[in-house]
Amino acid sequence: MEVLAVPCVSSADHLREQMQKLRLLCRGTDQGENLMPNVMSADLAPQRRFATPVSTHLDIWRALHDQTGVLFDLIYAPRTFEIILSHCSQFTTSEHVSKLNPKALQYWLPGENVLYYHCGGVEGNESQLRRYKSKGMLV
């Protein structure tokens, strides 16, 4: 099993630094050295300003709900999956990701099981949806 951390807010380098600090805190425990995930690069995905409404993110968010029945948060989940999709062979460029067909998520990693862990909640969805509406991306 591979554990990956996705840099949704800042750079991969910054996330690696955070993981290194966490590793130092875990030093002396049985799990300290093997606890850290690999950090994905966001270089293949389009650059985004954090939490700015983007139609691609809204499409990914809707597709995740349609295909899983799970209500995801509207800030971190779409960016996470946008970065993951940018690493998949059938979505090799940011252009493919930006033109993502919501139904394409069912094909993103054929034969692979993915456990997505997010420790936040969906409380911010209501205000984020208002932001999408004010930008004309929602009716």
Per-residue pLDDT tens for 83-120? Answer: 888 877 555 444 444 445 555 555 555 666 778 888 78
Judging by beta carbons within 10 Å of its beta carbon (0-12, 13-18, 19+), is residue 59 exposed, middle or buried? buried
Ranges under pLDDT 50 in the chain: 92-99
Instruction: Report pTM.
Output: 0.80
How far is 100 from 67, CA to CA, in rounded Å?
Answer: 14
Q: Fill in the DSSP letter of residue 68.
A: H
Helix (H) or strand (E) holding 88: none
CB of 135 within 8 A of CB of 53? Answer: yes
pLDDT at 97: 47
pLDDT at 93: 47
pLDDT at 1: 74
Judging by beta carbons within 10 Å of its beta carbon (0-12, 13-18, 19+), is residue 134 exposed, middle or buried? exposed
Give the C-alpha distances (Å, rounded to integers) separating 33 from 5, 7, 65, 114.
Answer: 16, 21, 36, 23
Q: Retrieve residue 62's tokens.
A: 């809707």
How far is 87 from 78, CA to CA, in rounded Å?
Answer: 15
Helix (H) or strand (E) holding 128: helix 125-134
pLDDT at 89: 57
